[in-house]
Amino acid sequence: MNKRVTIKDVAKKTGLSISTISLVINNKGNVSEETKQKVLQAIEELGYYPARSARSLASRKTGNIGFILTEEHFSRSEPFYTKIFLGTEFESRAYNYYVLLTTVPTQFSKSAIPRFLLENNVDGVIFAGKINQKYVKYVEELGLPYILVDYDLSGKKVSAVMIDNVGGGEMATDHLLKLGYRKVAFIGGDIEHPSIRGRFEGFKKALEKAGVECAVDMCVVEEPDTRVINGYRACEKLFTKLKPEAIFAANDAMAIGCLRFLKEKGIKVPDEVAVVGFDDIEACIHVEPRLTTVRVDKEELGVVAVKHLVEMIRKPNSGINRVYLPVKLVVRDSCGAKKKGFYVFDDSKIDESLI
């Protein structure tokens, strides 16, 4: 490694003491504007950057944020959580933090505790997606500030950045209702998950508003999780007894499962059944017909999480932060709106340019 430029070099060059330099770097204390400028200039000229490790050691702050999610979530095919991470990575630059990402097994295990927690190498933690409560508890006991993203702990007041699931579910259902469908079904898995619950709630709310009865057998919510295959199965169950006009699936993966089942059975979408999903994952524009869905701004979830977490790090005991991020209906082909001649803004061009 080349000889590193240190704070001493800056001190020497300016004829000041290292403590003054330090004060300038950290924008602390009372330093005259004049010396401040002198220092800043010297820093610039020398190309000086404070060493992380030295700062951490002396200040007892790491400058790192931990990002924890389950292996299951990260290895999911669609990059939902990846995008959240991207958002945090981007935002954390503004605050001069590094984001350390790690995955943990779904089941809590003492041996799986992230290294950065054991090594005291983060100032705060972001949990993305469903996570075993024990991990959260462990971080809490460490006294570290933390925030959940796209998840919530029932019966516990924690900081969290959430999607407006209820609003989104309502929006999707309203849309189907507006298109004239009356026999509208809901398909969901892992119904204990706060997000899925919320979407279901929105669904019921919309039906109630419209004065449409929400039949029990029009709601298939027993699937263990929300993967494609379970969307397929749920749809199969639904069609053994009933023939809905429209389906609102709790997420895109399940909606795609529905599409798969319907195609196999030769049931035309959207002509015979309309389908709407939730999340707006990439696959939506690859399936046939392209899936109408509720768009979640994943990056934004990450950005907001960092904003709040940094605030919590900077002023401890500032209380709990809870935010709901708005969602947006993206109308494509699976809901039939276009065929019915409803005017809709076509997002497809935007989608394609992203690829």
Partner DNA sequence: GTGAAAGCGCTAACAG
Partner DNA sequence: CTGTTAGCGCTTTCAC
Contacts with DNA by CB under 7 A lie at 4, 6-8, 15-20, 22-23, 25-26, 28-32, 34-36, 48-51, 54-55, 57-60
d(CA 340, CA 337): 5
How near is the Cβ of 24 to DNA at its closest, in Å?
8
292-311 positions binding a second copy, by CB under 8 A: none
Tell me 106's DSSP state: S
Cβ count near 160 (within 10 Å): 23
| Residue pointed to by tokens 């000086």 | 48
Q: Which is nearer to a second copy, 17 or 348 (CB)?
A: 348
CB 152 within 8 A of CB 85: no
How near is the Cβ of 251 to a second copy at its closest, in Å?
11
Q: Which is nearer to a second copy, 193 or 227 (CB)?
A: 227
CB 205 within 8 A of CB 248: no
d(CA 89, CA 105): 22
By CB under 8 A, the count of residues binding a second copy is 54
Q: Which is nearer to DNA, 32 or 75 (CB)?
A: 32
d(CA 339, CA 273): 13
Binding track over 132-171 against a second copy, x by CB under 8 A: ----------xx----------------------------
How near is the Cβ of 121 to DNA at its closest, in Å?
12
Tell me 47's DSSP state: T
230-249 positions binding a second copy, by CB under 8 A: none
Binding track over 10-49 against a second copy, x by CB under 8 A: ---------------------------------------x
Q: Which is nearer to DNA, 31 or 221 (CB)?
A: 31
Q: Where are the beta strands (DSSP E) in 165-284?
A: 184-189, 219-223, 246-249, 274-276
Q: Which does 62 bind (CB under 5 to 8 A by kind): a second copy, DNA, none?
A: a second copy
Q: Which does 160 bind (CB under 5 to 8 A by kind): DNA, a second copy, none?
A: none
Dihedral of the alpha carbons of 167, 170, 171, 174, in degrees to the nearest 10: -160
**Residue in 54, 94, 215, 320 binding a second copy, rule: CB under 8 A:** 54
Q: Which is nearer to DNA, 49 or 326 (CB)?
A: 49
d(CA 270, CA 231): 17
Task: Read off the tokens for 225.
Answer: 């999780």
- For position 215 contacting a second copy by CB under 8 A, the verdict is no
d(CA 196, CA 202): 10
d(CA 95, CA 126): 15
3-state helix, strand, coil in the chain (%, to 5): 45, 15, 40
* Interface ranges with a second copy (CB under 8 A): 1-2, 4, 49-57, 60, 62, 74-79, 82, 86, 89-90, 93, 96, 98-103, 115-116, 118-121, 142-143, 227-229, 253, 256, 282-283, 286-288, 352-355
